[in-house]
Amino acid sequence: MATNGRRQADRAAPATIYDVARMAGVSPSTVSRALNKPGRINASTEHRIREIAEAIGYRLNPLARALPTGRTQTLALTLSDITNPVYFELIRGAERVAASRGYILILAESQESADLENETAQRLLSSVDGLILVAARLDNSDIVELGKRKPILTVNRKVRGIGSVVADVRPGIRDALDHLQRLGHKKLAYIAGPSSSWMNRLRDRTISSEAGDRGMKVVTLGPHVPTVAGGAAALEAVRESGATAALAYNDLMAIGLLKAGHEVGMRIPEQLSLVGFDDIFGSDFTSPPITTIRTPHALLGEQAALRLIAELNNEAAHRHTVPRTEFLQRSSTDRARLGRF
């Protein structure tokens, strides 16, 4: 029978520093220092305390520590859609770095809703040391507001006064456009993602500007939801646009367009060249495999975690290199067709 009513009857209460202190014949504060202020305590005492702690299976209670120190050793990462394959490597990168530095990573999903994102972030904020906002749908002012409460960092979005990790989209876009130009394409369509997406606007602008430099025309179609279904929905508009090549906001949409096109008998790349974005899992085993502009997501996740943790510990900011996108030629692009299809 548990002595403490709030515990489940059959679960043993974990050992505390008070238990260790009693067994070692010292005060709890001595145990605390022995365990995490190396050198502060006589070496032999420290050793004895460590042995006893080990023997009775003492484990620090992170919550109890967090209360007075305000440090939870936890990071939160919010994103619009957990199941979007774009984020897998990013999540893993952040998780690995966090774990290696002794931090726990909490994931939260905003389901493409700014309100939900804000609410979630607010709720989590008091339980974490810092927050990574991936592809935030929030207003700038909300983000700034969050930044006043805890250190935060945005990925693939820039907000004045807030640290960010953003992939440089230009190198990949340049190479993609050079590639399309060599293939004779003159008129392109950009299939836009959500209008609330900062990254969507960046890709849109960069494509337009780079295409302009090359004397190519770009028409922006959308916005569309950034999913397979959203890409499929764009098919008709792409046909009507008269473009010979389409760049989708992301691979998910490119895949959707590819499937939808396939169903109505459109041949890709013969009738339409298609370029995706991100190089997600699966984009290489469609048929044809999708030519895409790769985003180094694992690197983004790692850098985000690394920089946030550095900030938390007041470490000197790492000299940080901007991750670059990279053009990946596969088989969904080919020479521009001549007539309409």
Partner DNA sequence: CGGATCTCGGCAACCGATTGCCAATCTATC
Partner DNA sequence: GATAGATTGGCAATCGGTTGCCGAGATCCG
By the criterion CB under 8 A, which residues form the site for a second copy? 6-8, 10-12, 14, 59-64, 66-67, 69-70, 72, 82-83, 85, 88-89, 91-92, 95, 99, 104-109, 120, 122-124, 126-127, 148-151, 255, 258-259, 281-282, 285-287
**35 interacts with DNA by CB under 7 A:** yes
68 binding DNA? (CB under 7 A): yes
142 binds DNA (CB under 7 A): no
Which of 60, 237 has the CB closer to DNA? 60
With CA atoms as reference, report the closest residue to 277 among 208, 209, 325: 325
Residue type, 138: L
DSSP characters for 56-100?
Answer: TT----HHHHHHHH----EEEEEES-TT-GGGHHHHHHHHHHHHH
Integer angstrom CA distances of residue 250 from 69, 89, 267, 284, 333: 42, 15, 20, 14, 16
When the beta carbons of 17 and 247 are compared against DNA, the nearer one is 17
* Residue 55 touches DNA, criterion: CB under 7 A: no
Nearest approach in angstroms of CB 180 to a second copy is 23
**Distance between CA atoms of residues 208 and 200, nearest Å:** 12
User: Within 10 Å of residue 239's Cβ, how many Cβ atoms?
Assistant: 18
Using CB under 7 A as the binding rule, whether residue 42 contacts DNA is answered as: yes
Q: Of 65, 170, 179, 201, which one interacts with DNA (CB under 7 A)?
A: 65
What is the rounded radius of gyration, in angstroms, for the C-alpha atoms of the chain? Answer: 26
Does 38 interact with DNA (rule: CB under 7 A)?
no
30 counts as binding DNA under rule CB under 7 A: yes
Largest CA distance in the chain: 90
User: What is the closest distance, in whole angstroms, from the C-beta atom of residue 66 to a second copy in the complex?
Assistant: 5
- The one of DNA, a second copy, none whose footprint includes residue 237, by CB under 5 to 8 A per kind, is none
107: contact with DNA by CB under 7 A? no
Q: Which residues contact 27 (CB under 8 A, 6 or more apart)?
A: 21
Q: What does 340 interact with, of DNA, a second copy, none (CB < 5 to 8 A by kind)?
A: none
Give me the count of residues in the chain: 341
Return the number of the residue (57 or 161) whose C-beta is nearest DNA: 57
Candidates 8, 12, 57, 69; binder of DNA (CB under 7 A) is 69
Q: Which two tokens stand for residue 263?
A: 């169903």
- Is position 144 an interface residue for DNA (rule: CB under 7 A)? no
Q: Of 207, 330, 179, 337, which is closest to residue 221 (Cα–Cα)?
A: 207
Residue 328: strand pairing partners: 292
153 burial via Cβ count (<10 Å: 0-12, 13-18, 19+):
buried
Partner touching 313 among a second copy, DNA, none, CB below 5 to 8 Å by kind: none
Q: Segment near DNA (CB under 7 A), from 13-21, 145-153, 166-174, 286-294?
A: 13-21
Closer of 11 and 340 to a second copy (Cβ): 11
Residue 205 binds which one of DNA, a second copy, none, with CB within 5 to 8 A depending on kind? none
Alpha-carbon distance of 261 to 10, in angstroms, equals 60
Binding footprint of DNA on the chain (CB under 7 A): 4-6, 13-18, 25-30, 32-33, 35-36, 39-43, 45-46, 58-61, 64-65, 67-69
